[in-house]
Amino acid sequence: MKKIYFFLTLVFTGIQVQAQKDFQGMAVYESKTQAPKFEGMRANRDITPEMQKNMEERMKQMLEKTFILNFDKSSSIYKEEEKLDAPGQQGGMRIMMNSFMGGGGTFYKDVKAKTYTVDKEFMGKEFLVVDSLPKLNWKLEQETKQIGGYTCYKATAVKEASKTDFRNLRPKNNDDKKPEDKKEDPKKTSGETKTNFQDNFELPKEIVITAWYSPEIPINQGPENYWGLPGLILEVNDGRTTILCSKIVLNAKDKATIKAPTKGKVISQKDYDETVIKKMEEFREMNRGRDGGPVMIRR
């Protein structure tokens, strides 16, 4: 009898180990980013109200994306769902927006090794960013809500804003300046300011993160570079961007291949950020003072 019990225990343990090894899931996330409040891309007399409306609609569409997260117990890949560009919509503009809004490429996380790898294209060059996963000091709270039938718990954290993720771009607050720094701008007329776009917008130093995770799916994965909670993260709000899970499939018959991308020049996150910032400064100086360059900003 003891031999039979021992044999059944081994079989049951083996089944559990195999089940954990084969465990895999897929989650669909809808990402929406609130565009910065500015009027017009450029102060151009040729831009009609209808053209302005069309540009705003295109911007809105480019800031609304669908992502797929394939995950197992220790790793995941997060990638934008491929879509055909609508007639008249330029694919090049979408690629450029991805570069400047923190998107693009395949984001691979290994939560066991605490590393990530993401392939990015910037200014026609391919990079492979490899670095350690950021460790957030999550504050677990008791507040709950339902997302897609799963009970989710709230968690919050504060992180340093990325200098190359322009989704949180915001108008500068001149109220924080000292009186002696508040000089009259000769370009101000009738409540409007004509100046370089980048001179009027800034990135915050810190961002408050609010996440909702479900212990019913006991893996410490999530969208983008978010992880480290006792359950799959189904919703994240980090500033102007909200990422919400709309569908979950666990242990589907067809398994996805979860592995890190390999194409591109290997670079750390710090070095990649410095490269982007340098190019942005060059672009800024090149466009400063150019005819047709000012932006119309409502005060």
pLDDT in tens, the chain (299 residues): 544 444 433 333 333 334 455 799 999 999 998 766 555 444 455 667 777 667 667 776 777 899 999 999 999 999 998 766 555 555 544 555 555 544 568 999 999 999 999 999 888 889 999 999 988 999 999 999 999 999 999 999 998 877 677 676 666 665 444 455 445 444 444 444 444 445 556 666 788 999 999 999 999 999 999 999 999 999 999 888 999 999 999 998 888 999 999 999 999 999 998 988 888 788 777 766 554 444 443 43
Residues with Cβ < 8 Å from 66, sequence gap 6 or more?
A: 28, 29, 30, 31, 80, 81, 83
Question: In the chain, what are the domain boundaries?
Answer: 23-298
**272, containing H or E segment:** helix 269-287
Q: Which structure tokens are listed for 268?
A: 């750390």
Query: Would you put residue 239 in left (φ > 0), alpha (ψ -120 to 50) or beta?
Result: left
Instruction: Give the separation between CA 136 and CA 157, rounded to whole angstroms.
Output: 6
**Contact (Cβ atoms closer than 8 angstroms) between residue 209 and residue 241:** no
**Contact (Cβ atoms closer than 8 angstroms) between residue 234 and residue 214:** yes
Please tell me the pTM assigned to this model: 0.73
The alpha carbon dihedral of 118, 123, 126, 130 has a sign of negative
